[in-house]
Amino acid sequence: MDITRRDFTKIGCKVIIGTVAGATVIESMISNNVAAQNPPAQEGYDWEKHFWGYVVDTRKCIGCGRCANACKLENKVPFDEEVYRTWVERYRVKKTTAQTREEEVVIDSPNGGIDGFEDNIPAEELKKAFYVPKICNHCDNAPCVQVCPVGATYETKDGVVLIDFKYCIGCRYCIQGCPYGARYFNTEKGTADKCTWCYHRITKGLLPACVQACPTGARKFGDLNDENSEVKKIIDVERINLLKPDLGTKPKVYYVGLDREVK
Amino acid sequence: MLENLIWGYVYPNESEIQWSILIVLYPYITGLVAGAFIASSLYHVFGNKELKPVARFALLTALSFLCVAMLPLLVHLGRPERGIEIMFTPHITSAMSGFGYIFSFYLIIVLLEIWLSFREDIVKTALSSHGWKELLYSSLALFSFDISEKALHDDEKFAKKLAIIGIPSAAFLHGYVGFIFGGIKANPWWSTPLMPIIFLMSAIVSGIALLILLYIIAMKFRKHVIDHKCVQSLAHYLWIFLILDVTLELLEIISMKYASREDIDIINRLLADKIGFTFWGVQLFMGVFIPFVLLLLVSLMKKRENLKLGMISLSSVLIIIGVFAMRWNVVIGGQEISKSLVGTLTYVPVFFSQEGVLPAIIICILPLIILRVVTAILPPWKDMEE
Amino acid sequence: MQPHLKRAFTLLALVIIVFIIVRSILVPASFGQYGWYRGDSVSELRSLPINYSGSTSCGEEGCHKIIYDVWVKDRHKTVNCETCHGPAEKHTLNARETLTPADDSREYCGKCHFKRLARPENFPQIDPETHGQELRCVYCHNPHKPWFI
């Protein structure tokens, strides 16, 4: 066959480029599947066996703020910035005056409740007052996971929603997407950040720092797969509620004693 | 000072507003791009002969603004060096993940369109120049110099097909941005299915207004006569899209008030207080009502060409400001209400800051500089001087 | 197809191929292992350092068993040692890493025990104005065995 040098070069280049491209594409498709078949050793913790849940009993919270304080110490969250992985809110419902039937509720959370709360409304003016601890709800249908554009946040098989700090690009779409205000921007890391239910502790059999610090048992944590766990028993028996259930996020923080005023 | 910025109760993590003026700029710029492209397509696809003078100029405008579109996002990202992940591992459940591929696809379409419509001029320039100029234009022509009737005719057919694909691409480029906001159920000011189409309509409006202004300025610079028929045709389209735009924007507000859900109190406070002036005063009155009246008069008036030109220019300036206010009201307004639905915050733009007013101004001026350079390399002036 | 269009599309194809090659190099291997995220991140997050030990490790044989046995029998057994004494993981691993002494001021006890209107009625709280003559609470109450009555 008589082919010119030019034609030979053209065909040669096309063959080389085609082979390299094809090989790369196929290899990138295979390597991921191989990894999925052989997950690395779990080091004694099998995430398929657990499904974590959290219970908050607002009737027991005394607003001492030890939970928010312990969380910041455990997880190195800055104390001098207004960022919180968990916080306590105070609701004070004022007595209705003769003029109006509308309820007036005063809500506050000074420094997340870490320094406690001052009483600056006299008792005569209040009908109802209570504290509500708040935390990331680790939703089963998390809007924050849905809106991440790169796959930097995800729900683990044991039900914990986590952030990959090495992959997040810091676009803050997840912060906009969370209806509960649980996420914040970590200026030091340049990424989004939030409560992890102390994943580094619960996978070793410990409790999250906030649950351990709570002196009254207002915060409880446990395995929903375990019939004997405290949280499972409470959820199955008590009157419980969720925050913003109408949004369909399927939160996994279950509240006992959740008042209608709670936002 | 801090006490005045916050009213009611806001969640502790909301104390800082996350999306700044730069994020207001991104939909504004992609809107101008989409609008300019649609204006160009009115000639290339729908055959509106009166728009021939600005058709290629509109494409160059679209390209100049497209080059800058990524900048506000890159400056805003907490980790801009990881920005490429949006092309490597786009998470398709997220509207924002569309950015990489939609942007790239549209960029390719615009580049091809420009290349095909300017190819004759590029080749002629390449063949008649020397030295580095010859090299530049030859590489732009991809070293292929066929400008026979058949080649140009095939180019035109292909360009028309591209323009037809281009229109939905332009719609996507800007529509997905609207969906980024419209899909967030957590925020009652953003969450509506109308958001993509509202964004698109106001984008077309702003793009056409920009094109009118740039055309008039370019003709003044080049000391050439303005084609009044062309400008009035653009003004006519501007008026129609303006009506569509305001209908949708008002429909959204009316629906919210009619449904009167849990969030209506905070929405009322937002519209009365936080963005009261920028919404009713700038976006609607200055940006829609006055241009509507002016353009209506323009279409009714006979002769008085220079007066009409002045009214059209004024309308375009007002519309450009009004559409910026609309983006501001959506992005900043949505963040000024707390997710607790019982509190508001205030956005205070800083001038000298990484995400402040100064970078925003620079990003707005850059595309005009780019346009100046691009029109020097690919001059569209002979369309206008015929 | 016209030659110039063929060249344009070849150029485009080359760009896309280069992109695919770069992508396969830069995207971490564990991405997509369990879902649309980087699989290695799970074990990274599990290995973060722990700062709080928990009271049971304070009461180990040979450590603070005596005070632990007093504490665990009285009302403050629901208050974790580290809530007042600070995070102690470093100390449990190396006893020479001492902790700052616990805050035993009146204000610190008052974080829980000063009367606040939002606290549940049945929780032990005192009016700071009238109870205790501005003394530190520990003057009368042993923090490890507070309910001496």
ipTM (interface pTM): 0.92
Residues in C touching A200 (Cβ below 8 Å): 45-50
Cβ of C3 and B144 within 8 Å? yes
Whether C14 has a pLDDT exceeding 50, the answer reads yes
Residue B73 lies in a domain: yes
What is the spatial distance between Cα C32 and Cα C52, in angstroms, rounded to a whole number?
A: 33
Local structure of residue A58 (DSSP, 8 states)? T
* Nearest chain A alpha carbon to C10: A14
Q: How far is A105 from chain B (nearest CA, A)?
A: 10
Is A174 part of the contact surface with chain C (CB cutoff 8 Å)? no
What is the pLDDT of chain C when averaged over all its residues?
A: 91
pLDDT at A22 (0 to 100)? 73
A85 neighbors A199 (Cβ within 8 angstroms): no
Task: Please report, as a single letter, which amino acid is at residue B311.
Answer: M
Is C3 part of the contact surface with chain A (CB cutoff 8 Å)? no
Whether B282 has a pLDDT exceeding 50, the answer reads yes
**pLDDT tens digit sequence for B164-209:** 999 999 999 999 999 999 999 999 999 999 999 999 999 999 999 9
Q: Which chains touch A (3 or more CB pairs under 8 A)?
A: B, C
Q: Report residue A170 as tokens.
A: 């810091």
Residue B247 lies in a domain: yes
pLDDT at A18 (0 to 100)? 75
**pLDDT tens digit sequence for B352-361:** 988 999 999 9
Residue B151 lies in a domain: yes
pLDDT at C148 (0 to 100)? 66
| Mean pLDDT of the region B14-28 | 95
Tell me the domains of chain A and their CATH numbers: 47-139+195-256 (3.30.70.20)
Is C149 part of the contact surface with chain B (CB cutoff 8 Å)? no
Which residue ranges in chain A fall short of pLDDT 50? 33-41
Is A14 part of the contact surface with chain C (CB cutoff 8 Å)? no
pLDDT at B148 (0 to 100)? 86
Cβ of C5 and B141 within 8 Å? no
Scanning A168-197 for CB atoms below 8 A from B yields 168-173, 175-185, 187, 189-192
What count of CB pairs under 8 Å joins A to B?
A: 126
Residue B46 lies in a domain: yes
Q: Which chains touch B (3 or more CB pairs under 8 A)?
A: A, C
Residue B4 lies in a domain: no
The band of C149, judged by pLDDT with boundaries at 50, 70 and 90, is low
Residue B246 lies in a domain: yes
Cβ of C38 and A199 within 8 Å? no
**pLDDT tens digit sequence for C46-102:** 999 999 999 999 998 889 999 999 999 999 999 999 999 999 999 999 989 889 899
Q: How far is A136 from chain C (nearest CA, A)?
A: 17
Cβ of B143 and C7 within 8 Å? yes
Q: How far is C46 from chain A (nearest CA, A)?
A: 4
Q: What is the CATH number of the domain that holds B230?
A: 1.20.1630.10
Cβ of B184 and A143 within 8 Å? yes
Residue B8 lies in a domain: no
Residue C30 lies in a domain: no
Cβ of C45 and A162 within 8 Å? yes
Is C12 part of the contact surface with chain B (CB cutoff 8 Å)? yes
Task: Please report, as a single letter, which amino acid is at residue B295.
Answer: L
Is B187 part of the contact surface with chain A (CB cutoff 8 Å)? yes
Residues in A touching B335 (Cβ below 8 Å): 176
**pLDDT tens digit sequence for B231-257:** 999 999 999 999 999 999 999 999 999
Residue B1 lies in a domain: no
Cβ of C36 and B91 within 8 Å? yes
What is the pLDDT of chain B when averaged over all its residues?
A: 92
**pLDDT tens digit sequence for B78-133:** 999 999 999 999 999 999 998 999 999 999 999 999 999 999 999 998 888 888 88
Whether C21 has a pLDDT exceeding 50, the answer reads yes
Q: How far is B92 from chain C (nearest CA, A)?
A: 10
Scanning C99-128 for CB atoms below 8 A from A yields 110-112, 116-120, 123
pLDDT at A36 (0 to 100)? 44
pLDDT at A27 (0 to 100)? 65
Domain count, chain B: 1
Residues in B touching A169 (Cβ below 8 Å): 77-80, 82-83, 85-86
Structural domain that includes position B362 = 16-381
Local structure of residue A199 (DSSP, 8 states)? H
Supply the angle between the helices B21-44 and B52-76 in degrees, to the nearest 10. 160
Residues in A touching C92 (Cβ below 8 Å): none
Domain count, chain C: 1
pLDDT at B145 (0 to 100)? 84
Residues in B touching A107 (Cβ below 8 Å): 8-9, 340, 342
**pLDDT tens digit sequence for A131-156:** 999 999 999 999 999 999 999 999 99
Residue C149 lies in a domain: no
pLDDT at A39 (0 to 100)? 45
Structural domain that includes position C118 = 55-139
What is the spatial distance between Cα A114 and Cα A109, in angstroms, rounded to a whole number?
A: 9
Q: Report residue B275 as tokens.
A: 């963005």
